Each structure stands twice: as structure tokens, then as C-alpha cells.
Chain A
Amino acid sequence: MTRRTIEIWVGVFIAGGIAALFMLAMKVSNLSTYTGNEGFEVTARFEDISGLKVRSPVTMSGVRIGRVTKIDFDDQALQAVVTMRIDRQHKTLPKDSTASIYTAGLLGEKYIGLEAGGEEESLQQGDEIQLTQDSLVLEKLIAQFVSSFIESGGKSKAE
């Protein structure tokens, strides 16, 4: 084995290792979705956000336009305060948009869906979304369903 072949092989090895690290960073991890500090942050208050997490997606019309960056609890208002970062290019979201918490599929992860309002003014850095709709909790839903079922069942028996 000459010195030259050894050096070539070592070069190939190091390059391959760095390429693998690069692939892990760009293709496997979320580095490519980090938009850095670009974009603007808006907040929204919810009564119930159960299941929502930091880095959950924020979508509009089903397209991801941002991510949740912070979840706080307001001790005074007893509400959850969700901070989300909207990507820089979506500058024209109306100020009276509605934020709702949805579930992807029956057991999937929670995400925030924005629905556009009609106002001319658009959301800016630090704005708060006023109209919100809470996360649907499966247990509450079942409880409602069961109680309404019992009520209607009682009626049909009485008839």
C-alpha cells in the first residue's frame, strides 16, 4: 500500500463521514425547517390546549406556515398563552383571523389551524389573535355524547 493510496482512502473516509453527518443534519433532522429568527411572533389565549406542544405546526388551509414556539400559563386570567412564530413570507394574514386547535386524525398530534378573517389590517409582530377555539378533549366529547344520549333515550322511552 503506497502512501498515496492510503491518503486517498483516508480522504474518502473523512469525506464520507462528513457527508453522512451532513445528510443526518439536512435530510433527517429539522435543521432545514429552522427559519432562524426570521418571521414574526403572535400570541393567542386558549382555555384548553391539552396536547399542544412547543414545535407543533401552525397551519392555514392545511399548509404549514409556522410553529408554536412557547406555551405559558397566565396566572391572572387562568388561561394558556401560546406564542407562535409565523414564517416571514406570510405577511398578509388578516388581523381578525381565528386560531383553533385541531387534531390530525383521531389520535394524531395537535396543531393550530388559522382561519382568515376579513379585515384589511394584517397581523404584526407581537399581536394577539383574539378569536380562538379550544382543543377538543375526547373525554369531554364522550361525556357530552353520553349525557345527550341518555336524555334522548329517556324521551323515546317516555313516548
Chain B
Amino acid sequence: MLESLQRLGRKGLAFFQRLGRGHILLWDILAGLSSLLPRPHLVIVQVYSVGVLSLLIILVSGLFVGMVLGLQGYNTLVNFGAEESLGTVVALSLVRELGPVVTALLFAGRAGSALTAEIGLMKATEQLSAMEMMAVDPVKRTLAPRFMAGFISMPLLAAIFSAVGVLGGYFVGVGLLGVDEGAYWSQMQDNVDIYDDIQNGVIKSLVFGFVVSWIAIFEGYDCIPTSEGVSRATTRTVVHSALAILGLDFILTALMFGD
């Protein structure tokens, strides 16, 4: 009885300790961002590995999600004789929800896990300690550029996802199912607002990029420096990122579209 209580207390304290460490690390990274200004190449290399290498999966899934939306939307709307609104359905669901959320989930799986594994392995092979020995701050030298790259890449990837998805819906709706081309675009333009929809979607993707990069980097930096610890940290990155994305998405949606 007493033992299980002790274990519970230890777990609770460990949880709060990790939470605190995570936020202190975030603060250190944000403070270290200014040191990147004279060395932009550090960020460029990371944008390549985080953003460019995620392009393929984002392009393909965006295209297919858009095509499925076109197909499903058409089949439902045609019952009401409203297949002209297909453009609105596709664009609104992509720009408001699917674009930021699905991109963030894929980003966590593709780039977040890679970040965690890389940093975790650096820690396990004591590269980070070696840097400290050389009086190089690993937070500034390795973590800050990766964080910045994730924060830059995520909104761009989400925008590419949404744009490709709208084109996918166009191919299916207009190309295959015979929705009028003019109606597809004009209904879309009539009902998608630049501030209410596009801007809020971009804000969502910025928030997700921030959170996913933070979780991935923290899990890597905080992992147990063994091969098992790295693998656990990688799993945790994907799971925690997905939960954070979906939870935050609900809160952000309630704030943005709740009125």
C-alpha cells in the first residue's frame, strides 16, 4: 500500500520534472535562436532534412486527400443537387482542418521522429557531451537550428498540402465527375475568406510546427542514452505529437470558429 503510494508520488514528481525540463529547454532554444542569425547555413541544412525530404509524402497525401474529398463530397452533394458547391467543400475542409492537421501528423511521423532519433543518437554516442567539452553549446549549435527549421517548414508544407489537395479535388470533380469548372472555382472564392479561413489555417500550422518541433527535440535531448531509450523516445515523439496536435486543434478551432 505504502509502496504503491510512493511509486505514484515518484511518477508524479517525475512527470512534473519532465514538464519543467521541457519548458526550460524551450526557453533555452528560444534564447539561442538569435545566435543563428550570423550562421544561416545551419538552418538551411536542417530545412533540407526536415522540409524538403518531407515534400514527397506531403505532395502525394495532399493529392489523394483532395481527390477523396472530391469523390465523397460529390456523392453526397449530388443527392441535394448541390454538386456546384464541391469547390467550397473541398477548399474549406482542406484549408481549415485537414491541411494543417494531416500535415502536422505526417510531419511528426516523417520529420519529428527523425529529429528525435538523430538527437537521441547524438546523445547516446556522446557527441553532445563532446561539444560541451569544446565549449560549444549544443542547444545553440544543434537544437536551435532544428527547431527553427521545423517552425519554418511546417506552414509551408501545410500550404502545399492544401493547394495540392484543392487541385486533386479539381481533377476528380471537374475532370472525372463533370462538375462545371467555373462553378468549382467561383463557389470556392465566394465562400472561402482570406482572414477567417486561410489566415486561421496558417496560424494553426504555425502552432503545430512549433509544438511538434519542440516535442521532437525535447524527447531526443531528454532520452535515456541507450538504443532502447532512443527507440522509446522516438515512439513517444510520434504519440505525444499526435495527441498534442489533435487536442490543440480542437482548442484552436473552438477559439477561431466558435463564435
Query: Interface on A for B, CB 8 Å cutoff?
Result: 3, 6-7, 9-10, 12-14, 16-21, 23-25, 27-34, 57, 107
B228 within 8 A of A: no
B112 within 8 A of A: no
**Cβ–Cβ contact A13 & B156, under 8 A:** yes
B3 within 8 A of A: no
Bound Cα distance from A20 to B166, whole angstroms: 11
Please report the number of residue pairs spanning A and B whose Cβ atoms sit closer than 8 angstroms. 84
Bound Cα distance from A33 to B41, whole angstroms: 40
Bound Cα distance from A7 to B43, whole angstroms: 11
Best-buried of A12, A14, A107 by chain B (most CB within 10 Å): A14
**Cβ–Cβ contact A30 & B194, under 8 A:** yes
**Cβ–Cβ contact A24 & B44, under 8 A:** no
Beta-carbon contacts under 8 Å, B128-173 to A: 153, 155-157, 159-160, 162-164, 166
Bound Cα distance from A28 to B202, whole angstroms: 14
**Cβ–Cβ contact B198 & A24, under 8 A:** yes
Q: Which residue of B55, B156, B198 contacts A25 across the interface (Cβ within 8 Å)?
A: B198
Bound Cα distance from A29 to B201, whole angstroms: 12
Bound Cα distance from A29 to B157, whole angstroms: 18
Chain A contact residues: over half helix, strand or loop, or mixed?
A: helix
Please give the distance in Å from B63's CB to the nearest CB on chain A: 13
Query: Interface on B for A, CB 8 Å cutoff?
Result: 41, 44-45, 47-48, 51-52, 55, 80, 91, 95, 153, 155-157, 159-160, 162-164, 166, 185, 188-190, 192-194, 197-198, 202
Chain B contact residues: over half helix, strand or loop, or mixed?
A: helix
The residue of chain A having its C-beta at the shortest distance from the C-beta of B197 within the complex is A29
- Between-chain CB contacts (< 8 Å), 29 pairs: A6-B44, A6-B48, A7-B44, A9-B52, A10-B44, A13-B47, A13-B153, A14-B47, A14-B156, A16-B160, A17-B155, A17-B157, A17-B159, A20-B156, A20-B159, A20-B162, A20-B164, A23-B163, A27-B189, A28-B95, A28-B188, A28-B189, A29-B95, A29-B193, A29-B194, A29-B198, A30-B190, A30-B194, A31-B194
Please give the distance in Å from B52's CB to the nearest CB on chain A: 5
**Cβ–Cβ contact B189 & A30, under 8 A:** yes
**Cβ–Cβ contact A6 & B51, under 8 A:** no
**Which chain B residues lie closer than 8 Å to A23 at the CB level?**
163, 166
**Cβ–Cβ contact A18 & B156, under 8 A:** yes
